[in-house]
């Protein structure tokens, strides 16, 4: 089996967006998730694959300081927001590829909202949370305040606190049952 095909299949299976970018900002490879994220971040809405400015700025920090960190592995991490305030965690690191002459960067983009949803679904099942508790828990994973959660779900802050207490109690009961 061709190793390039295998590598591409692995990257395509990732939930996170994965980009391989030259040190000049040229996109060499992007998995399906990265295409979707870049299209979402693109101001012109074009279907062509172009590296969004927000991501290129993070890459440039690593490119501009390459000489300072030649002997160590450096991973830059930053968070950016989409136009609808969806948080994305962006990680950038150097990667060497035999098939490309120029130095390259691997850019990993995690959709934090999607990750939090998946985690909340898993924890809902694991701890036996109600649907409302799962909604509250999802927003807590995104670091929302009790007040913001209450406003978003149209409930009182005291109700949010009650749900969070119930979630912690269910988690603790689950942990006790596992011992």
In 17-76, alpha helices (H): 32-41, 53-64
Tens place of pLDDT for every residue, the chain, 179 residues? 555 555 566 666 667 899 999 988 889 889 988 988 888 887 665 556 678 989 999 999 998 887 666 667 788 999 998 888 889 999 999 988 877 778 899 999 999 888 888 888 999 999 999 999 999 999 998 889 999 999 999 999 999 999 999 999 999 999 998 88
Please state, in angstroms and rounded to a whole number, the distance separating the CA atoms of residues 175 and 24: 50
Residues paired with residue 110 on neighbouring β-strands, in sequence order: 89
CB atoms inside a 10 Å sphere around CB 147: 10
Whether residues 138 and 51 share a domain: the answer is no
Query: Is residue 117, in this structure, part of any structural domain at all?
Result: no
CB 167 within 8 A of CB 160: no
Residue numbers of the domain that contains 159: 128-178
Whether residues 93 and 133 share a domain: the answer is no
Whether residues 50 and 15 share a domain: the answer is yes
Whether residues 23 and 105 share a domain: the answer is yes
Query: Is residue 118, in this structure, part of any structural domain at all?
Result: no
Query: Is residue 56, in this structure, part of any structural domain at all?
Result: yes
Whether residues 98 and 38 share a domain: the answer is yes
- CATH number of the domain enclosing 93: 3.30.450.20
In the chain, how many domains are there? 2
CB atoms inside a 10 Å sphere around CB 169: 11
Please state, in angstroms and rounded to a whole number, the distance separating the CA atoms of residues 138 and 124: 10
Whether residues 27 and 58 share a domain: the answer is yes
Residues paired with residue 81 on neighbouring β-strands, in sequence order: 87
Whether residues 9 and 90 share a domain: the answer is yes
Whether the full predicted model's pTM is greater than 0.95, yes or no, is: no
């Amino acid at each position: 089996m061709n190793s390039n095909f295998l590598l591409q299949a692995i990257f395509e299976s990732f939930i996170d967006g994965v980009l391989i970018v030259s040190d000049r900002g040229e996109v060499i490879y992007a998995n399906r998730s990265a295409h979707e994220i870049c299209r979402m971040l693109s101001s012109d809405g074009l279907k062509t694959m172009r590296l969004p400015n927000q991501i290129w700025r993070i890459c440039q920090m690593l490119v501009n300081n390459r000489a300072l960190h030649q002997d160590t592995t450096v991973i830059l991490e930053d968070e950016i927001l989409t136009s609808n305030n969806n948080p994305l965690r962006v990680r950038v690191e150097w990667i060497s590829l035999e098939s490309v002459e120029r130095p390259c960067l691997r850019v990993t983009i995690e959709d934090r909202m999607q990750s939090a949803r998946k985690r909340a679904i898993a924890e809902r099942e694991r701890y036996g949370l109600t649907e409302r508790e799962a909604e509250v828990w999802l927003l807590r994973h995104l670091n929302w305040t009790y007040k913001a959660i209450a406003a978003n779900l149209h409930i009182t802050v005291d109700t949010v606190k009650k749900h969070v207490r119930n979630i912690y109690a269910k988690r603790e009961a689950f942990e006790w049952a596992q011992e």
